[in-house]
Homo-oligomer: A and B are copies of this chain.
Amino acid sequence: MKEQTKSMKPYYYEKCPVIRALDILGGKWRLAIIWELSRYDSMRYNELKRHLSGITNIMLTRSLQALEQHDLITRNELCQIPPHVEYAITERCKSLLPALEIINEWGKLEK
């Protein structure tokens, strides 16, 4: 039998694209942010905060950073008066929206 220093069988996680995707999409708040942003061209931080009742500043900031790192959202600094930041989903993220639509319909039937 071939010598197995470490379990040669990769964890399921590494093999399965569905799990890899959900690793990136992460917890509920990241999907909630994507879902909200998908309904507008772009949104400011405070607008997002108002729409996501219950989210803390720390959670919103961290989730936005993670989504930006994974090229799911863009963060644009607008030099207007007053200067402000706007968030929007990327084309890469838009390719996921049909899946979220299906999940959204499915969730409506769940009591």
- Residues of A at under 8 Å CB distance from B? 7, 9-13, 15-24, 28, 31-32, 35, 51-55, 70, 95-96, 98-100, 102-108, 110
Contacts and interface: CB of A to CB of B under 8 A. Distances in A.
A70 B111 CA distance: 10
Copy number in the complex reads 2
Contact of A104 (B10, B18, B95): B18
A106 B21 contact: yes
Please report whether the interface of chain A is mostly helix, strand, loop or mixed according to DSSP.
Answer: helix
A98 B28 CA distance: 20
Given A20-B107, A103-B99, A28 B13 contact: yes
A104 B17 contact: yes
